[in-house]
Amino acid sequence: MGATKSENFTEKQNQMAIMLKALGHPARIAIMEFLMKTDSCICGDIVNELPLAQPTVSQHLKELKSAGLIKGSVEGTAICYCIDEKALEILRHYFGGISEHLEKRKNNCC
Amino acid sequence: MGATKSENFTEKQNQMAIMLKALGHPARIAIMEFLMKTDSCICGDIVNELPLAQPTVSQHLKELKSAGLIKGSVEGTAICYCIDEKALEILRHYFGGISEHLEKRKNNCC
DNA sequence: TTTATTTATTGCAATATTACGATAAATATG
DNA sequence: CATATTTATCGTAATATTGCAATAAATAAA
């Protein structure tokens, strides 16, 4: 016990959970918002922006990347990280769909 | 160490992280999808639907509720849980905004 | 090649999460 | 009230996450 029982859920459910879990930390939300708001995407800039040590930020970036939310490219000695638009489109569609569905059937019982 | 340093992030960032973290588990995604797809919202039905023991499901429901994603109401000896539309609207708006923003400035560097 | 700069990895301590059996709490029904 | 039904809580073991100092790895520039 202790570990998530992923094998009993659908591929899609696990995929959504992985992406949302990656976003379920304020530092990673802050990283995504920084990448969105600024034109810069150099890792060092992100480290300066966040109230966390460099190794911690590096770890958060790794998690966002492995969840498919950002991608990185080498830029000299620096690394440029960007939001993966495809992932964001999946999220937008997912929550858009739920909202629309709830809108349609106004039979909320609570 | 070990605990998230929430105090160094904005209220909004923490709020988003709390909601998304709550959705960052396949069982909780499955619960949300069940509540969306069926007319039922009885806790017992959710327990039957999920491949997890009743106390585990109860715990997941508690997390979704404390994150503001669902609300529950007593229905005799049963409890009826429903999606909180307001929370879903916040999520829809958040990801819609990011997607739109990315769409606008097509200058992705990666 | 040596040095500087930038990012990643390792190792570890502190804390949080996940899951479930046992049991309690709450409410309905006989 | 006693019993059945349904959900919540407690206690605990297994596992995962968070954060950082120390250090390694990678690349650029001198």
Q: What is the pLDDT along chain B (110 residues), one digit of tens a residue?
A: 679 999 999 999 999 999 999 999 999 999 999 999 998 899 999 999 999 999 999 999 999 999 999 999 999 999 999 999 999 999 999 999 999 999 888 756 67
Instruction: Say how many domains are in chain B.
Output: 1
DSSP A76: T
Return the CATH number at B78. 1.10.10.10
Residue nearest to nucleotide D23 (CA to C1'): A55
Instruction: Find the Å distance, CA of residue B77 to C1' of nucleotide C26.
Output: 7
Residue A109 lies in a domain: no
Q: According to the model, what pLDDT value does residue A74 have?
A: 94
Residue A107 has pLDDT above 70, yes or no: no
Residue B55 lies in a domain: yes
Determine contact, residues A110/B41, Cβ cutoff 8 Å: yes
Residue A60 lies in a domain: yes
Q: Which nucleotides of C are covered by protein (CB under 7 A)?
A: 4-11, 13-23, 26-29
Residue A17 lies in a domain: yes
- Give the pLDDT mean for A54-67: 98
Residue A56 lies in a domain: yes
Domain that holds residue A33: 11-104
Residue nearest to nucleotide C16 (CA to C1'): B3
Residue A1 has pLDDT above 80, yes or no: no
- Any idea of the CA torsion for B25, B94, A79, A26, to the nearest 10 degrees? -60
Residue A105 has pLDDT above 90, yes or no: no
Residue B56 lies in a domain: yes
Contact B14 A23 (CB under 8 A): no
B21, B107, B110 ranked by CB distance to A71: nearest: B110
Instruction: Find the Å distance, CA of residue B60 to C1' of nucleotide C16.
Output: 15
Contact B95 A95 (CB under 8 A): yes
Looking at every residue in chain A, the average pLDDT score rounds to 94
Q: According to the model, what pLDDT value does residue B108 have?
A: 61
Q: According to the model, what pLDDT value does residue A22 have?
A: 98
Q: Which two tokens mark B46?
A: 């959710």
Q: According to the model, what pLDDT value does residue B29 have?
A: 98
Q: According to the model, what pLDDT value does residue A108 have?
A: 61
Residue B2 lies in a domain: no
- pLDDT tens per residue across span A16-26: 999 999 999 99
Closest CA to B23 of B98, B100, B94, B107: B94
18-47 in A: which are within 8 Å (CB) of B? 18, 20-30, 32-33, 36, 39, 41
Residue A26 lies in a domain: yes
Contact A29 B39 (CB under 8 A): no
